[in-house]
A and B are shown apart, each in its own frame.
Chain A
Amino acid sequence: MFQESSQKPLIVELMDISKQNESILKFFISGIGKKVFNIATNSAEVEAYIIDYDFPGAQAHWDNNYADSKIPRIILSTENHQVDRAVWVPKPLSSKNLIAAATSIKELLKESPLPSRKINNTEDDIGEDIMPIKPKTTSNLDKKTTTTPKSSTFENKKLLAPLITSDNPVKHSKNIATAKPKLETQKVFKKNVKTPEEIKLEAEQRENRWQELCGNNSDYTASSEVSRYVPENHFIGKLIAGVRLAKQSQQIVEVQSKPHSVFILPNEHLIFTQILIDNKDFIAFSRSEVKLGEMNLHILSSIETGKLELKMSEQPEHIHSLESFMWTNSLLASQGRLPATLDIGKKTALKYWPSFARIEAFPYSMRIAALWHHSPDTLFEMSSKLGIPQRYVFAFYNGADALDLIERDPKRVKQQMKTKPKKKGGGLISRLFNRLLKGGGSS
């Protein structure tokens, strides 16, 4: 490591570094790195350059002007540059790597010191013969003529293009005047004022939808009373089996249903179906019982896959997120009932949170996820801990079950119980949470 006490700082000059990055480097050098680096006050004292090879033209600038220089370099870049008398520091830069680079340069200078130089700022200084042309710490782009790096693939057109060209100044001026402002200035803080009737109607519609998804059962006092259903007897059972097959085979699977089939794309996590999902028919479809021999699973051949891809490109409105489709379908089928085979007294855990920004949320759904993930428990206990109606916990269970997000292995459930939430922030977290709820979102 750099011997801070015994070694003098390495005197460096920053070359071809953007102003912003130069400021941050100087911030580092004046703080944590002050015992390791010093910025040169004149070219004669420079022991090393720090050069950003990702900066447009930086490498060409060096090659054209400093190729014969004996002064070593610290090359900052996202790409590996192993060159003579240089130390590469990969981005992201870290204090540790910069200090290590300084140490390497110091060692290099010990092995092959620079020719002695006289500190003199006059132009006829003999040092100018030894030293390369004084490098500029300002960017290449500040120059009147910009050196275009031979090997660089960087597109500099935008930076070099004038805002208003002489051949069509009016058009460009108009463009500037009518150009859309940047996104940050586009935000309109307008209030969407709704009438009391509209608010009431919206609340009723929301409540109805939640009933469709979670049912309207009252809480049960005994587990034996809980209303049950058999997922395998519904479309959701076939869909779950289809997803399993699709994931195993890594092929598109068709659930052959009427009036339209449902296609499962396992890698893309997509569903394609011409069944309309935002109407009463879909609710009926989800709840109806599947007869024996109906809704067979079929792995698509390459020809069928090609045809499907074409159809999907023509009808993108029939493409759905797999997670969202399965979640909604599962909830509509179960209506707050629980699977017939579920041992209600057994503790389970939520392995992963569902993708809440895409699934259809209902009251307390996110709270259930948080609690269940951190504190595996029985469904009755979770409802009791959260102080919420059981039907919401049951609905969440069904959705998570369809998405294979539940951990049932007792050992793993126990392991998950060990990961406790941090519980930081106190009342502010609750107030922020409520503030966000008022502004729309999940629950």
Chain B
Amino acid sequence: MSVVNRKIIFTGPVGSGKTTAIVSISDIPPVTTDQNASDMTKKRKSDTTVAMDYGVINVSENERVHLYGTPGQERFDFMWNILTKGGIGLILLMDNTRQDPYQDLKFYTGAFKEFIEEQQMVVGITRMDLQRTPNIDNYRKWLDELGYSAPVFEVDARSRKDVSVLIQGLLLSLDPGVSS
């Protein structure tokens, strides 16, 4: 019997919780490629993902959803194009403690524009416990301005439940008729 493989992409700025989110939800101990950050990335996080993170959700015996985290160093966008091929959706994690979250949102939605238009995106705001502004309303309005319609959830990337909610939101956005 052939195995059906699909994938979900986690993206966002350095330190937004991509690696942690995959760790939280994966059925296998995830493969991470975090390295000592060697440039200005280090200002935010001592380790950063240089290639990609990887995890899996085993849906059934012959169905797997692979979880990929993009490198957080904001470079090499051609790697992102390779990564998104065949993906069912994008989970954009936004670190609310960053200097300019609006610019981050603009950058990442722009970078994955085609993928978002073709598939679906859900936005998770992390670190809101440390920094309350901008608030969730701000993100909703920014997405409107940028021409995107996507669920926005405040999340803790360490919480399996929160990451599960993000993925559920993504799946229901793709098809509200998903049945249980």
Q: At the interface, yes or no: A55 with Cβ under 8 Å from chain B? A: yes
Q: Which residue of A lies closest to B166 (CB)?
A: A357
B46–A158 contact, CB under 8 A? yes
For A100-122 the 0/1 string (1 means CB < 8 A from B) is 00000000000000000000000
Residue in B30, B88, B169, B177 whose CB lies within 8 Å of A366: B169
Chain A residues within an 8 Å CB radius of B174: 421-425, 429
State in angstroms the CA–CA spacing of A371 and B174 once bound together.
11
Count B-side interface residues using an 8 Å CB cutoff.
70
Q: At the interface, yes or no: A93 with Cβ under 8 Å from chain B? A: yes
B59–A425 contact, CB under 8 A? no
State in angstroms the CA–CA spacing of A358 and B79 once bound together.
34
The dominant DSSP class at the B interface is mixed
Chain B residues within an 8 Å CB radius of A384: none
For A36-47 the 0/1 string (1 means CB < 8 A from B) is 000000000000
Chain B residues within an 8 Å CB radius of A401: none
B6–A428 contact, CB under 8 A? yes
A440 and B160 contact, Cβ closer than 8 Å, known pairs A91-B74, A92-B111, A429-B178: yes
State in angstroms the CA–CA spacing of A430 and B173 once bound together.
12
A158–B4 contact, CB under 8 A? no
A267–B38 contact, CB under 8 A? no
Residue in A154, A436, A440 whose CB lies within 8 Å of B167: A436
For B153-180 the 0/1 string (1 means CB < 8 A from A) is 1111011111011111101111111111
A356 and B151 contact, Cβ closer than 8 Å, known pairs A437-B180, A441-B161: yes
Q: Which residue of B lies closest to A435 (CB)?
A: B59
Please give the distance in Å from A382's CB to the nearest CB on chain B.
Answer: 10
| Segment 1-51 of B: residues with Cβ below 8 Å from A | 4, 6, 19-20, 23, 29-30, 32, 34-36, 38-40, 42, 46, 50-51
State in angstroms the CA–CA spacing of A418 and B51 once bound together.
38
| Segment 398-443 of A: residues with Cβ below 8 Å from B | 419, 421-425, 428-437, 439-442
A424 and B119 contact, Cβ closer than 8 Å, known pairs A78-B40, A370-B173, A432-B57: yes
Count A-side interface residues using an 8 Å CB cutoff.
69
A422 and B119 contact, Cβ closer than 8 Å, known pairs A92-B75, A187-B23: yes
State in angstroms the CA–CA spacing of A340 and B32 once bound together.
55
B175–A78 contact, CB under 8 A? no
Chain A residues within an 8 Å CB radius of B173: 370, 373-374, 421
A268–B133 contact, CB under 8 A? yes
Q: At the interface, yes or no: A221 with Cβ under 8 Å from chain B? A: no
Residue from A158, A425, A437 whose CB has the most chain B CB atoms within 10 Å:
A425
Residue in B38, B57, B88, B155 whose CB lies within 8 Å of A56: B38
Chain B residues within an 8 Å CB radius of A158: 36, 46
Q: At the interface, yes or no: B84 with Cβ under 8 Å from chain A? A: no
Residue in B20, B29, B40, B159 whose CB lies within 8 Å of A185: B29
Q: At the interface, yes or no: A375 with Cβ under 8 Å from chain B? A: yes
A321 and B59 contact, Cβ closer than 8 Å, known pairs A158-B46, A183-B20, A433-B171: no
Please give the distance in Å from A321's CB to the nearest CB on chain B.
Answer: 7
A353 and B152 contact, Cβ closer than 8 Å, known pairs A374-B176, A436-B168, A440-B164: yes
Chain B residues within an 8 Å CB radius of A423: 174-175, 177
| Segment 72-89 of B: residues with Cβ below 8 Å from A | 73-79, 88
A184–B29 contact, CB under 8 A? yes
Residue in A92, A185, A424, A429 whose CB lies within 8 Å of B74: A92
Q: Which of A20-28, A195-203, A229-237 contacts B (4 or more CB under 8 A)?
A: A20-28
Q: Which residue of B lies closest to A267 (CB)?
A: B133
Chain B residues within an 8 Å CB radius of A422: 118-120, 174-175
Please give the distance in Å from B157's CB to the nearest CB on chain A.
Answer: 10
A367 and B149 contact, Cβ closer than 8 Å, known pairs A24-B79, A92-B74, A267-B132: no
B38–A357 contact, CB under 8 A? no
| Segment 139-158 of A: residues with Cβ below 8 Å from B | 139, 141, 154-155, 158
Chain A residues within an 8 Å CB radius of B178: 367, 370, 429-430, 433
Chain A residues within an 8 Å CB radius of B98: none
Q: Pick 26 A–B contacts, CB within 8 A, sort by A.
A: A56-B39, A92-B76, A94-B78, A321-B154, A355-B154, A356-B153, A357-B153, A357-B162, A358-B153, A366-B168, A369-B151, A370-B169, A374-B176, A428-B6, A429-B174, A430-B180, A431-B59, A432-B63, A432-B65, A433-B168, A435-B59, A436-B57, A437-B168, A439-B160, A441-B165, A442-B168
